[in-house]
């Protein structure tokens, strides 16, 4: 990518301009967009060098890498947007290994015709999220697809981090007797998104909980280095994540409905639409599994952190060859909390 002399070139029109095919063409227009939008917003020593890649040294420890594509619709929602979501999401995936996230890469697929003013909002939101988290976006890519072949903006972020020696966090490490904790209220993000869907719209003060969790994870690992599992319950919600962990670890689980924190508004929104909060996505929460003796200390450490104030102990792993996740209902019975079937759809019946 070559440098562009700005003196003789009209600046990108961020007020009224739209993405067009030249922005992905590899030529001057693309270079200009990259410089005036992405480089300016993300600004750091790697981007300033204008290479197609970034080179850096890594501290000691094992390398952790993760990637995520973001296709959320709508692109802007109460509490966030696809930009900060893409930064938080990948930081969180790296953090769930107990790793310290270090660098991010960001690939954009833009749809022809998408307003540059909105793209600028998204990129600036990403930059803010990246700066706040202390994880720079050091390299990236931009492509443009014809109108109708994209949903405005798709973003793929890849992150690398390092996990210190002695920390071994993995979804297959849960054992019978281990305790299961969540870092806060369930279902906020999914409900915030749904409140904007064209034929379902309802008014609510619920905001997406999108957040970078690496600070919380660091505090947790410091308090309990022997944490068994960490995972963030994104698509498919808490129920899906618990089923994944149960399956990976070869254990069953029993959780308590009364112990799972859910905001009253999230409960109410789910009632309206016939949804179950356990299956609704979260973007700023995590599930942790630890040895029984560590549970108290871990819970205290979580609650001491701003992103873990509503942390709760919700259940425990048990021996079960069928790997069912069972729940003691508020009502006094017990039922299975199964895998999500396809996409959770609202119902009238």
What whole-number distance in Å separates Cα of residue 335 and Cα of residue 330?
A: 11
Tokens 């992150």 found at: 159
Which DSSP category does 176 fall into? Answer: T
> What stretch of H or E contains 65?
strand 62-70
Decide: helix, strand or coil at residue 128.
Answer: helix
Minimum distance from residue 329 beta carbon to other proteins (Å): 6
Taking the least distance from each CB to other proteins, the nearer of 33 and 270 is 270
Torsions phi, psi for 140 (to 5 deg): -165, -175
Cα distances (Å, whole numbers) of residue 228 to 181, 293, 294, 307: 12, 12, 11, 20
Minimum distance from residue 268 beta carbon to other proteins (Å): 4
Minimum distance from residue 200 beta carbon to other proteins (Å): 5
Taking the least distance from each CB to other proteins, the nearer of 16 and 322 is 322
Taking the least distance from each CB to other proteins, the nearer of 101 and 236 is 236
| Nearest-5° Cα angle at 214, 103 to 90 | 50
Minimum distance from residue 258 beta carbon to other proteins (Å): 8
What whole-number distance in Å separates Cα of residue 308 and Cα of residue 217?
A: 10
Taking the least distance from each CB to other proteins, the nearer of 55 and 349 is 349
What whole-number distance in Å separates Cα of residue 151 and Cα of residue 156?
A: 14
Number of residues in the chain: 349
Taking the least distance from each CB to other proteins, the nearer of 206 and 220 is 206
Minimum distance from residue 198 beta carbon to other proteins (Å): 8
Taking the least distance from each CB to other proteins, the nearer of 53 and 199 is 199
Minimum distance from residue 13 beta carbon to other proteins (Å): 31
Minimum distance from residue 264 beta carbon to other proteins (Å): 4
Nearest to 185 by CA among 314, 274, 296: 314
Which stretches of the chain bind other proteins, using CB under 8 A? 199-200, 202-205, 264-265, 267-269, 271-274, 322, 324, 326, 329-336, 338, 341-342, 345-349
Taking the least distance from each CB to other proteins, the nearer of 218 and 273 is 273
What whole-number distance in Å separates Cα of residue 176 and Cα of residue 178?
A: 6
């Amino acid at each position: 990518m070559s440098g562009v002399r700005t003196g003789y070139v009209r600046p990108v029109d961020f007020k009224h301009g739209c993405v067009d095919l030249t922005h992905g063409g590899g030529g001057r227009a693309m270079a200009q967009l990259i410089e005036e939008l992405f480089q300016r917003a993300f600004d750091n020593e790697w981007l300033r060098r204008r290479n197609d890649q970034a080179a850096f040294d890594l501290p000691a420890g094992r390398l952790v890498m993760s990637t995520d594509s973001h296709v959320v619709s709508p692109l802007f929602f109460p509490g966030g947007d696809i930009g900060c979501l893409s930064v938080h999401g990948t930081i969180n995936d790296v953090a769930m290994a107990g790793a310290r996230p270090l660098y991010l890469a960001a690939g954009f697929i833009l749809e022809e015709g998408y307003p540059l003013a909105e793209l600028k909002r998204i990129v600036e939101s990403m930059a803010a999220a990246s700066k706040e988290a202390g994880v720079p976006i050091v390299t990236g890519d931009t492509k443009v697809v014809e109108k109708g072949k994209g949903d405005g903006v798709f973003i793929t972020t890849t992150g690398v981090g390092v996990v210190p020696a002695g920390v071994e966090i993995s979804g297959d490490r849960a054992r019978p007797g281990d305790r299961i904790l969540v870092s806060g209220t369930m279902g906020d993000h999914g409900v915030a998104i749904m409140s904007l869907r064209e034929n379902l719209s309802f008014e609510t003060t619920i905001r997406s909980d999108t957040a970078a969790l690496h600070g919380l994870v660091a505090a947790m690992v410091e308090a309990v280095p022997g944490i068994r599992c960490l995972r963030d319950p994104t698509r498919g919600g808490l129920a899906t994540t618990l089923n994944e962990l149960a399956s990976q670890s070869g254990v069953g689980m029993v959780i308590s409905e009364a112990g799972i924190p859910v905001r009253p508004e999230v409960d109410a929104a789910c009632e309206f639409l016939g949804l179950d909060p356990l299956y609704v996505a979260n973007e700023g929460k995590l599930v942790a599994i630890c040895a029984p003796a560590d549970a108290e200390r871990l819970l205290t450490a979580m609650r001491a952190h701003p992103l873990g104030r509503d942390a709760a102990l919700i259940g425990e792993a048990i021996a079960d060859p069928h790997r069912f996740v069972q729940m003691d209902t508020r009502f006094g019975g017990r039922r299975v909390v199964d895998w999500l079937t396809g996409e959770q759809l609202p119902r009238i019946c």
